[in-house]
Structure 1
Amino acid sequence: MEIFPAIDLRNGQAVRLKQGDYNQITVYSSSPADVAQEFKAQGARNLHVVDLDGAKDGSLSNFDTVCEIIKTGGLSVQVGGGIRDEQRIQKYLNLGVERVILGTSALDRKFLTHMIAKFGSQIAVGVDAKNGKVAIKGWREVCDIDSVQFCRELADIGVQTIIYTDISKDGAMSGTNMEIYHQLAKEVNCRIIASGGVCFEHEISQLSALGTYGVIIGKAIYTGAINLAKAIAIADGKQEV
């Protein structure tokens, strides 16, 4: 299983939100590229980057920061946040991003099907859920769409990777929604990346046992609740909890 340490970007800084609330923001670093290299030094192979400004208003204000992160090298980077057209997808892929994450734009099935046909495994879909319903536009709007059913439909049209986030757990440091990942493992035939609230080592072990493809860890790393190097060792099956 792969571990994806997370860097959320706001105004060029590495930050964390609590439960997707832009009014509950903590700034961790003014140099996200340095944070990426710290993760790499601890053994990280992957990186999950979200442009919070892009998710909120569709801007590309953090593109140069993503560029700096990519240039530091040595990490497989997936990027999401405000990516709603083919031009932006291509711009990120040309930069060297491994995988582009679609969120709100994935609700447009015609667009999504076309992007999957064109870019294949380089497209992932972020399914953000609140009370089991899909949330969009930087988590500010909740649709009347069942999140698990949506994941099944995504897999059926060819999406190879889904990043599923339970918003209520994100940044709360109370543990992740393990029940939903059990359900997704049984019902959705594609790679699932778990996101939101992972802050205990035993959760990493449990998610690995489910066959989960990857786990995104954010606040738990920044606060020291989880040691990144140890998390990677657990995910690789080289260390027991």
Structure 2
Amino acid sequence: MRIIPAIDLLDGQAVRLQKGDYAKKTIYNHNPFEEARKFKTARFDHIHVVDLNGAKSGSFENLPIIKTIISELGLSVQTGGGVRSRKDIDLLLNAGLSGVICSSMAVKKTDEWMKAIEDYPEQMILGLDLKDGKMAYGGWLKTSDEPIEEFINPMIDAGLKTVLSTDIARDGMLSGPNVEMYADLQKRFPQLNWIASGGVSNLQDLVELQNHNLYGVVVGKAYYEGNIRLDEMRELNRSGM
């Protein structure tokens, strides 16, 4: 299983939010580049970066920081936050991003999203945010009653390979990941690479997710709060690759 350290960017700082609430933020580092350097030093080669400003404004205000991380540290970066059109996708890929995460765009501009999957199947990552078992979008404020199968199967046919799924109720809460949900998704869609996001609180959580053969897991707050050390994350990452 791939362990993917996370950096959430807000106003040029590395922060974490609770359940996506901008009013409930914790600043962990005023220099996010230094956080990325720690991951590089610990021999991680791929990280997860979210542009929280972009998620609100649709403008990738923190892209210069991400580009510096890529160019100066040589890290592979997957990113999300504010991706709303094919133009946005092309901008990010041209900036050197290895993966682009889209959620609302997949709902609101389905044709553009499906074409992007066809053109860049290795780089496109569906952001599947779940709230009480329902798909959520629009900054997690709206939910859909559409069955997940009806939503995802056409994307699989178009070439989709990777899905990053967040249980909104557990995001940033250190309450433990929704292992049952991820195990169910892995069983229902075994052809997809599933990346778990939200709720990881300790090393045992990572071991449990690995036991369900998930492709990857994003680790953020548990690391920043000192619940999991980088060397522990790296050891599990190495043993599971």
> TM class, shorter-chain normalised?
over 0.9
Question: Take 2:38 and 2:237, find their aligned partners in 1: how far apart are those partners?
Answer: 19
What secondary structure, in the 3-state scheme, does the structure 2 residue paired with 1:23 have? strand
Partner residue in 2 for 1:179:
180
- Percent identity reads 40
Partner residue in 1 for 2:136:
135
Question: Take 2:169 and 2:148, find their aligned partners in 1: how far apart are those partners?
Answer: 14
Partner residue in 2 for 1:116:
117
Question: Take 1:52 and 1:142, find their aligned partners in 2: how far apart are those partners?
Answer: 20
Equivalent residues in 2 for 1:16-31 (5 A)? 16-31=16-31
Question: Take 1:229 and 1:146, find their aligned partners in 2: how far apart are those partners?
Answer: 40
Q: In 2 relative to 1, CA 148–222 (structure 1 residues): closer, same or farther, beyond 3 Å?
A: farther
Partner residue in 1 for 2:163:
162
Amino acid corresponding to residue 123 of structure 1 in structure 2:
M
Normalised TM-score (structure 1): 0.92
Count of aligned positions: 238
Deviation at 1:223, TM superposition (A): 0.6
Normalised TM-score (structure 2): 0.92
Equivalent residues in 2 for 1:215-234 (5 A)? 215-234=217-236
1:90-145 CA distance string (max 9 Å, x none) = 22112211111111001133222100111121111111111111221222333333
CA contact (8 A) 1:44 1:229 kept: no
Amino acid corresponding to residue 212 of structure 1 in structure 2:
L
What secondary structure, in the 3-state scheme, does the structure 2 residue paired with 1:43 have? coil
Q: In 2 relative to 1, CA 150–200 (structure 1 residues): closer, same or farther, beyond 3 Å?
A: farther
Question: Take 1:147 and 1:202, find their aligned partners in 2: how far apart are those partners?
Answer: 29
Q: In 2 relative to 1, CA 197–152 (structure 1 residues): closer, same or farther, beyond 3 Å?
A: farther
CA contact (8 A) 1:132 1:147 kept: no
1:148-205 CA distance string (max 9 Å, x none) = 6634554343211000000111110110000011101100121000100112212212
Cα RMSD after superposing both structures: 1.7
Partner residue in 1 for 2:32:
32
Partner residue in 1 for 2:239:
237
CA contact (8 A) 2:194 2:216 kept: yes
Question: Take 2:203 and 2:137, find their aligned partners in 1: how far apart are those partners?
Answer: 30
